[in-house]
Chain A
Amino acid sequence: MNMSNPMIESTEIPEINYESVKRKQRIRTFAKGMLFLLPSLLLFGVFLFYPLFKTLYLSFFLTNARGETTVFVGLQNYLGMFASPIFHQSMKSTFLFVLYTVPTTIIIALFLAVLANEKLKGIGFFRTIFTSTMGISVAAASVFWLYLFHPSIGFINGILEMIGMESIGWLTDPKWALIAVAVTTIWMNLGFTFLVLLGGLQSIDSYLYESADIDGASYFYKLRRITIPMLSPTLFFVITVTIINAFQTFGQIDILTQGGPQNTTNLIVYSIYREAFTNYQFGTASAQAIVLFVIILIMTIIQFKLGERKVHYQ
């Protein structure tokens, strides 16, 4: 008995220890990992997840002016929103706006970047000029364009009149207002997009061009076969960022048109702002915010699914 007991214990104990040590270790590594993640988890929790869930929560309620919930209405805010012509207009304008700004910004910026990538004397000057809009705040740029677009004393209408054309109510005509805001936005985003694309161009290895030169490839052939494919990760990044930015446009709208005329420039973020802070309907505003979130989520997923297939990573 005396002999067997320690034997049994000694065979059993290591096994139990082994299991629990393993578990302990797993917990310890997990805790360590969480410790490293903690700062970002906390930040995400406080600044992203908490507001997200709060928004979702608010979207099921009516609120008073201070944003405190008063009546639970279930999906009423969503149903009302999808039935509202103002919201339809706002969605339509938002998608049109994305369509106007994203391709144009990228094409112009790419064109400028290709130009500025040439090794010429004084090219630094042009690079500075092309990136300069990055240093201008949304508010300053908008005010500047507000004066350019002024119906009677504005510079653009002045030119139109000089060449004998009718002046245009850039910010007051529903046919033109969205275009005017899009032009402003393209101009403002150009600097950033240009800079990122130029960076992408400069990181392409020169040996590729050297071998192509030896083979006698033409300029456009090199552009099509080397530059664009090698640039695709950067392009992909720029497209994603520009689309998200376009969906979230706010400052220009607030200063240039305040969502007018006839809600044609009432882009979704501005519409959210107006619902929440002019109408004090935090419930409907939250419902719209959730819709915006879902749209951007879907767009991003599609982009990654489609884009990644086409993107060439080194």
Chain B
Amino acid sequence: MRKHFLTSFMMLLLVVFLAACSSNESSSGETEVEAESSDTKEKQVVTFWHSMGGAGQEALNSIVESFNSSQDEIQVNAEYQGEYDESLTKFNAVAGTDSAPSMIQTFEIGTKSMINSGQITPIQEFIDADGYDMSGLEENIVNYYSLDGTFYSMPFNSSTPVMYYNKEAFEAAGLDPEAPPATFEEIIEANKAIVESNPDMKGFALQAYGWLWEQLLANQGALLLNNDNGRTGTPTEIGWTEEEGKSIFNWVKQMVDDGTFANYGTNGDNMMAGFLAGDVAMFLQSSASSRDVIDNAPFEVGIAYLPHPEDKERQGVVIGGASLWMIDGKPEEEQKAAWEFMKYLQTPEVQAEWHVGTGYFAINPAAYEEQTVKDAYAEKPQLQVTVNQLQDTKASYATQGALMDMLPEGRKIMETALEKVYNGGEVDEAYNTAVEQFNAAIEQANAARGE
């Protein structure tokens, strides 16, 4: 009976499996039909998984559309798959099967785990085969995405964190709206003036967001992980010193104690809504939101560099955002088609449109010479700040950014620690717990790799 049960069990598994396969076939069949009906026959279909919502999605869709209509050999189907980590989870589930996309957009901290996954073809192969010149791209981006001189993925959307501020609130508080505070200490002072002039408004908001924590570290020249941020060897523990780490916590603690800090927890949308509603005068966020913020604010929005502690020189920022990965095990034709699309995305015209439409900066500096960008700068000079900040960045291991597969977990740990301070917790306790957990996470990740 047991044998019977086992065989029937296997049969059912088979049935389920077949059903899953056939549904895949039918869905890919549909896309082919779509491709055929749209124009001439035999277009090469490229499935592109991305994580761009809102304004980014609109801009991306229009780029994909113009690529599809610009030639008649390749049909790119852009599919939104949720946030980066959601999309990565889905990808891990289908990797190696026919349902896997031709290319996928993944955030910068996923770089290491994508390489370790063994499911991707390094784009260096295409660069070499094609003789494509990557040196035209922004230097800092090349720094982040080339590992020992090899490109594993194609940079695409890159942003940096900037400080948004409400110019009207600055004026009302007697501050110079054209000279925003640049250091932690200056922000503390500015906060007091703002709250004094308008008790209903808080001075500063820092979303509990691990990415911002990483950026505030890098801006002081601090490493996130040892072994040069994991660039010269596998990291074994955190890379920042106690002084560097605590400077951020103490800064936040001071603002919380002053009553000038607006706590929006981990929710970036709430923070933005609060800023637009005039509840807080300054906040840090990715420059990718700049178009949204500027367009929706009923007041004039200023954009400034990321702040740093007074006793440290500004080092600049790490590239945030995402890159495009070529998936392994796809037919050569499909990969070539995807490569064509990747190259198209790097062209100055496309990058100009992308930069202006979103606030991500152009990874191809030639885009800044395009008329669209010049027009946009004339109208919204704030957009230029993000580009300047990137170009002012000093190249070092700190600003190159960290490489490790446990970074998403590390972010969560830092977010929890920051929230503790936001809610009146002690700096020492929050900080020490976080460091302990961060190190444990690194250890666990190394152990899981069997190293």
User: Is the CB of B27 closer than 8 A to any CB of chain A?
Assistant: no
User: Is the CB of A229 closer than 8 A to any CB of chain B?
Assistant: no
Which A residues are in CB contact (< 8 Å) with B1?
30, 34
Chain B contact-residue range equals: 35 or more
**B267, B405, B450 pick with most chain A CB within 10 angstroms:** B267
| Least distance between A220 CB and chain B CB atoms (Å) | 45
Partner of B263, one of A70, A73, A150, A172: A172
In the bound complex, what is the Cα–Cα distance between A279 and B88 (angstroms)? 12
Partner of B274, one of A42, A152, A174, A262: A152
Contact B117 A66 (CB under 8 A): yes
Contact B266 A41 (CB under 8 A): no
Known: A153-B277, A277-B89. A65 touches B116 (CB 8 A): yes
Contact A279 B5 (CB under 8 A): no
B221-268 with Cβ < 8 A to chain A: 262-267
In the bound complex, what is the Cα–Cα distance between A34 and B3 (angstroms)? 13
User: Is the CB of A151 closer than 8 A to any CB of chain B?
Assistant: yes
- 6 residue pairs A–B, Cβ–Cβ below 8 Å: A46-B12, A62-B444, A172-B265, A257-B266, A279-B409, A280-B92
User: Is the CB of B432 closer than 8 A to any CB of chain A?
Assistant: no
Interface of A is mostly: loop
A-B pairs with the 4 shortest C-beta distances?
A172-B265, A62-B448, A152-B279, A279-B409
Q: A172's closest neighbor in chain B, by CB? A: B265
| Least distance between A81 CB and chain B CB atoms (Å) | 12
Contact A262 B113 (CB under 8 A): no
| Least distance between A269 CB and chain B CB atoms (Å) | 16
In the bound complex, what is the Cα–Cα distance between A42 and B408 (angstroms)? 38
Contact A65 B405 (CB under 8 A): yes
In the bound complex, what is the Cα–Cα distance between A259 and B266 (angstroms)? 10
Which A residues are in CB contact (< 8 Å) with B33?
none
Chain A window 267-295, contacts with chain B (Cβ cutoff 8 Å), 1 for yes, 0 for no = 00000001001111101000000000000
**A46, A63, A73 pick with most chain B CB within 10 angstroms:** A46
**A45, A152, A260 pick with most chain B CB within 10 angstroms:** A152
**A45, A46, A280 pick with most chain B CB within 10 angstroms:** A280
B427-451 with Cβ < 8 A to chain A: 433, 437, 441, 444, 447-450
In the bound complex, what is the Cα–Cα distance between A38 and B446 (angstroms)? 45
User: Is the CB of A64 closer than 8 A to any CB of chain B?
Assistant: yes
User: Is the CB of A200 closer than 8 A to any CB of chain B?
Assistant: no
Known: A71-B450, A169-B263. A280 touches B113 (CB 8 A): yes
Which of the segments B65-73, B150-158, B335-343, B414-422 contacts the partner chain?
Answer: B414-422
Which A residues are in CB contact (< 8 Å) with B444?
62, 281
Which B residues are in CB contact (< 8 Å) with A281?
409, 444, 448
Chain A window 67-79, contacts with chain B (Cβ cutoff 8 Å), 1 for yes, 0 for no = 1001101000000
Interface residues of A, count at CB 8 A: 40
Q: A260's closest neighbor in chain B, by CB? A: B266
Which B residues are in CB contact (< 8 Å) with A274?
412
User: Is the CB of B208 closer than 8 A to any CB of chain A?
Assistant: yes
Chain B window 88-121, contacts with chain A (Cβ cutoff 8 Å), 1 for yes, 0 for no = 0100100100000000000000000100110000
User: Is the CB of A173 closer than 8 A to any CB of chain B?
Assistant: yes
Interface of B is mostly: helix
Q: A279's closest neighbor in chain B, by CB? A: B409
Contact B422 A172 (CB under 8 A): yes
Q: B265's closest neighbor in chain A, by CB? A: A172
In the bound complex, what is the Cα–Cα distance between A171 and B208 (angstroms)? 13
User: Is the CB of B369 closer than 8 A to any CB of chain A?
Assistant: no
Partner of A65, one of B12, B117, B425, B447: B117
In the bound complex, what is the Cα–Cα distance between A220 and B423 (angstroms)? 47
Interface of B with A (CB < 8 Å)?
A: 1, 4-5, 8-9, 12-13, 16, 85-86, 89, 92, 95, 113, 116-117, 208, 262-267, 270, 273-274, 277, 279, 405-406, 408-409, 412, 415-416, 419-420, 422-423, 425, 433, 437, 441, 444, 447-450
User: Is the CB of A233 closer than 8 A to any CB of chain B?
Assistant: no
Contact A151 B274 (CB under 8 A): yes
| Least distance between B54 CB and chain A CB atoms (Å) | 15
In the bound complex, what is the Cα–Cα distance between A151 and B202 (angstroms)? 12
**B12, B433, B448, B449 pick with most chain A CB within 10 angstroms:** B448
In the bound complex, what is the Cα–Cα distance between A70 and B447 (angstroms)? 9
Which B residues are in CB contact (< 8 Å) with A171?
265, 267
Which B residues are in CB contact (< 8 Å) with A307?
none
Kindly list 16 other residue pairs between chains A and B, CB separation below 8 angstroms, not including A172-B267, A260-B266, A281-B444. Answer: A46-B9, A62-B448, A64-B116, A64-B117, A65-B92, A65-B116, A71-B448, A151-B264, A151-B270, A152-B277, A153-B279, A173-B263, A174-B419, A280-B113, A280-B408, A283-B448
In the bound complex, what is the Cα–Cα distance between A41 and B4 (angstroms)? 12
Contact A260 B448 (CB under 8 A): no
In the bound complex, what is the Cα–Cα distance between A85 and B267 (angstroms)? 24
In the bound complex, what is the Cα–Cα distance between A64 and B95 (angstroms)? 13
User: Is the CB of A227 closer than 8 A to any CB of chain B?
Assistant: no
In the bound complex, what is the Cα–Cα distance between A41 and B1 (angstroms)? 13
Contact B13 A41 (CB under 8 A): no
Partner of B9, one of A42, A64, A65, A280: A42
Which B residues are in CB contact (< 8 Å) with A280?
92, 113, 405, 408
Contact A262 B449 (CB under 8 A): no
A80-114 with Cβ < 8 A to chain B: 85-86
A241-268 with Cβ < 8 A to chain B: 257-258, 260-263
Q: A261's closest neighbor in chain B, by CB? A: B419
In the bound complex, what is the Cα–Cα distance between A304 and B203 (angstroms)? 56
Contact A64 B449 (CB under 8 A): yes
Partner of B408, one of A41, A71, A278: A278
| Least distance between A109 CB and chain B CB atoms (Å) | 31
In the bound complex, what is the Cα–Cα distance between A41 and B6 (angstroms)? 11
Which A residues are in CB contact (< 8 Å) with B409?
278-279, 281
In the bound complex, what is the Cα–Cα distance between A62 and B441 (angstroms)? 13
In the bound complex, what is the Cα–Cα distance between A274 and B425 (angstroms)? 24
Contact A45 B85 (CB under 8 A): no
Q: B266's closest neighbor in chain A, by CB? A: A260
Contact A279 B117 (CB under 8 A): no
| Least distance between B378 CB and chain A CB atoms (Å) | 33
Contact B406 A279 (CB under 8 A): yes
Which A residues are in CB contact (< 8 Å) with B113?
65, 280
Q: B420's closest neighbor in chain A, by CB? A: A262
Contact B422 A261 (CB under 8 A): yes
A20-62 with Cβ < 8 A to chain B: 30, 34, 38, 41-42, 45-46, 62
